[in-house]
């Protein structure tokens, strides 16, 4: 079967993968999934070999290569991927993907006020912070400034980390460590709201982290 036309996944499919990206990286192995993707014409022979021969040839690298290709696998890629993970024995992962709630852009502006008081005042855990950082794009430094992190701290984080994701995570981890018990969802979301006109924030990811305590 010829490889199907490539391109970005449909927005809803891409969002489901994005919201569960860490789960996918921790649970799956790309080598278990490539046969189905190839057989269905989603992956090419080259794609299959790149996943299987990823270097270093360890599970974490294989799934990283696989997911990169999946995000550019066209309109049918996600559907075949769901079948592939079920066939490979990852039915629990498929269930989580299918049951992931995608919050509409038209959701009420006061969504955070509907969150239970206990959750709003929960301290953000490091794992939750790492997921939250995936929501930020251009202009994220405004958020750090709003949280009273200095320009020097921001610049130090940029110099000490190799990727934009790690730069952001290091900066906001400094805030969490400094604030200790005051590093709550309420404080963090307040800062995000103050900066939403200055930077890129994917509110679907923010809401997903806040509403899911696991």
| Planar angle of CA 175, 177, 179, nearest 5 degrees | 65
Q: Which residue has the tokens 């923010």?
A: 206
- How far is the C-alpha of 159 from the C-alpha of 179, rounded, in Å? 23
> At a CB cut-off of 8 Å and minimum separation 6, what does 75 contact?
7, 9, 10
Integer-rounded Cα Rg, in Å, for the chain is: 19
Strand-pairing partners, residue 136, are 201
**What's the pTM value of the predicted model, to 2 decimals?**
0.55
Closest among 86, 87, 72 to 17, alpha carbons compared = 72
Residue 56 neighbours by CB under 8 Å, 6+ apart: none
Q: Within 13 A of 138's CA, how many CA atoms are on the CB side?
A: 2
pLDDT in tens, 50-104: 999 999 999 999 999 999 999 999 999 999 999 999 999 999 999 999 888 775 5
pLDDT for residue 108 is more than 50: no
Q: Is 67 helix (H, G, I), strand (E, B) or coil?
A: helix
pLDDT at 214 over 60: no
Mean pLDDT of the chain: 89
Provide the 10 A C-beta neighbour count for residue 56. Answer: 7
- Respond yes or no on whether the N-terminal peptide bond of residue 56 is cis (omega within 30° of 0): yes
173-206: pLDDT as tens digits:
999 999 999 999 999 999 998 998 888 899 889 9
């Amino acid at each position: 079967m010829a490889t199907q036309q490539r391109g970005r996944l449909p927005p809803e499919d891409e969002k489901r993968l994005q919201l569960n990206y860490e789960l996918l990286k921790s649970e799956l192995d790309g080598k278990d999934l490539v046969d189905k993707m190839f057989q269905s014409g989603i992956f090419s022979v080259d794609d299959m070999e790149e996943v299987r021969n990823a270097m270093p040839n360890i599970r974490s690298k294989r799934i990283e290569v696989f997911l990169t290709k999946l995000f550019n696998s066209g309109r049918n890629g996600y559907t075949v991927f769901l079948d592939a993970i079920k066939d490979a024995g990852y039915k629990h992962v498929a269930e989580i993907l299918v049951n992931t709630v995608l919050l509409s852009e038209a959701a009420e502006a006061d969504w955070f006020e509907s969150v239970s008081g206990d959750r709003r005042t929960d301290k953000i855990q490091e794992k939750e912070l790492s997921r939250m950082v995936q929501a930020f794009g251009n202009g994220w430094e405004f958020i750090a400034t709003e949280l009273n992190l200095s320009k020097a701290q921001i610049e130090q984080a940029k110099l000490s980390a190799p990727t934009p994701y790690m730069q952001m995570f290091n900066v906001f981890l400094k805030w969490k460590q400094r604030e200790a018990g005051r590093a709550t969802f309420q404080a963090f979301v307040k800062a995000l709201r103050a900066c939403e006109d200055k930077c890129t924030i994917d509110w679907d990811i923010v809401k997903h982290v806040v509403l899911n305590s696991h």
